[in-house]
Amino acid sequence: MNILPTERRSLIVLFGATGDLATRKLYPAMLKLYEKGNIREHFAVIGTSRHKIDDEKYREIVEKSVAKETSNKKMVSDFASHFYFVTHDVTNVSHYANLKDKSAELDKKYALGGNRVFYISMAPNFFGTVAKNLKTQHLLSENGGFNRLVIEKPFGRDFESAKQLNDELSAAFEENQIFRIDHYLGKEMIQNIEAIRFGNTIFEALWNNRYIDNIQVTLAENLGVEERAGYYDNSGALRDMVQNHIMQIVSLLAMEQPVAFKDTDIRQEKVKALRSLRVYNVAEASTNFVRGQYGGVGNSKEYRQEDGVPKDSNTETFVAGKLLFDNYRWSGTPFYIRTGKKLADKFTRVDVVFKKPLVDIFSFPQSGSTPLNANVLTIFIEPNQGFSLMVNAKNSEQGFHTEPVNLQFLEDSKRTKETPQPYERLIHDVLKGDGTNFASWPEVASAWKFVDQIRRVWDIQQPMFPNYIPGSMGPVSADELLARDHREWVYKLNK
């Protein structure tokens, strides 16, 4: 079904316009929105950074960064004609006057109705400074248009720093004007979790501790730290992946049904779920979380030998953990999570493991029959998009034996390729003013409080690193975490 696009009017002021994220992700995403008509005549972008370049040079940068998206040169140059550059040091208060004048000029030229998006695609230490200066230097429009602030990750490095940053942002913007990017929330199949859960009686009716034995979330990467070593070594997998992406996925899986499918209702349920997540004491944190760091094999360097990583680094490149919710729906049903670098493959998936039938009437040990398997709903998030449901069925051989059969739906590669990329969806949501797929402050705060507890324990315990080999699924302790509970990971190597 083709739904006609609604054109969104706005000025986008982009801080960090010459950076990696802007050129690799943001301009291509904006081009897609332009191609589809979500932005068209009434939009303009002011790119800023300390670079001394003019509009023409900036448009060349933009055109180059979208070149591989289309062969339509005319469209690309029409698109790029909406881009303007202002040389600007965000720490220099006097520079904001130029930006203010340019914003007013473009607002008039493109009839933007005073709508403004301020997108900070810069290192996080600048987020607070920019927000404050936007307010004090009167960059926010006051003629009835909207003012929205988009913030990249990471949002703090613990609860305290996140709170301080949030206080700085809140001094200039209301919570409903702040869009904290978690690009996982822009992924098609993450958004599909809500459709699968709340659009299907067969799942939602069973979505609780009576019928679900455990839920597993895996975000696996097969690459190492590559050129991000400097940033990564200061962060580690717990801060880089668990606090944000994994906690967001878990909250979508654990939340109650929202009253309506709208951002405020969904946020409310996610926050409630995260508030009932058990924050561990020292003993629980030590038992329920394990960490790893990759070693080397063949030409594959161990983490401590990577360029920019200290030789004695104790930064974790792998995390696995057990999460427990103390609420009526989930009490007793653990959520197991894991993420890491240099693992066997690159993929993200969720496995929902249902309980086995209480009585197995097909069990005839004397005739060698196999016991029933647990039903497993797997949500494939990337690279494949789709889901599968493992059910027990009779096999067609002589006698009566059951075997697991997979009911599977995978988007074909053409549809997967056409699926809007996260940044396209998320920028569109910002222009619409829809905060559904962004992390709200109470969610971020709860996630940090949980993660800080694990970090505290790890900071005082000496790890035995390196402890897993590249191409594996992490350290043995990650398997032991589940084995202790008489469970195992659904996705295993050699299966």
The set of catalytic residues is 245
Cβ at position 138, least distance to ligand NAP in Å: 19
x/- track of binding to ligand NAP for residues 87-126 (CB under 6 A): -xxxx-----------------------------xxxx--
Judged by CB under 6 A, the residue of 8, 9, 12, 18 near ligand NAP is 18
Question: Does residue 16 bind ligand NAP (CB under 6 A)?
Answer: yes
Comparing CB distances to ligand NAP, the nearer of 87 and 257 is 87
CB of 315 to ligand NAP, least distance (A): 17
The yes or no reply on residue 444 touching ligand NAP (CB under 6 A) is no
153 binds ligand NAP (CB under 6 A): yes
* Contact flag: residue 333 with ligand NAP (CB under 6 A): no
312 assigned ligand-binding residue? no
* Smallest separation, CB 63 to ligand NAP (Å): 17
Say if residue 152 carries a ligand binding annotation.
Answer: no
Q: Which is nearer to ligand NAP, 86 or 277 (CB)?
A: 86
Q: Candidates 86-94, 262-270, 352-360, 422-430 — which segment interacts with ligand NAP by CB under 6 A?
A: 86-94
Interaction of residue 129 with ligand NAP, rule CB under 6 A: no
Residue nearest to ligand NAP (CB): 19
* 429 labelled binding-site residue: no
Give the range of 46-54, 172-180, 306-314, 391-399 binding ligand NAP by CB under 6 A: 46-54
Q: Which is nearer to ligand NAP, 89 or 412 (CB)?
A: 89
| 221 appears as a binding residue in the annotation | yes
Q: Which residues make beta-bridge pairs with 117? A: 12, 148
Find the part of the chain contacting ligand NAP (CB under 6 A) among 20-28, 36-44, 295-303, 415-423: 20-28
Closer residue to ligand NAP (CB): 50 or 262: 50
Closer to ligand NAP by CB, 317 or 333: give it. 317
DSSP three-state, residue 378:
strand
Q: Measured between alpha carbons, how far is 316 from 304 in angstroms, rounded to an integer?
A: 11
Q: What number of chain residues touch ligand NAP (CB under 6 A)?
A: 20
User: Residue 341, annotated ligand binder?
Assistant: yes
Q: Is 183 annotated as a binding residue?
A: yes
Least distance from ligand NAP to the Cβ atom of residue 101, Å: 18
Instruction: Please report, as residue ranges, which positions from 174 to 203 form the binding site for ligand NAP (by CB under 6 A).
Output: none
Q: Tell me the binding residues for NADP(+).
A: 50, 89-90, 153
Residues that bind ligand NAP (CB under 6 A): 16-22, 49-51, 88-91, 121-124, 152-153
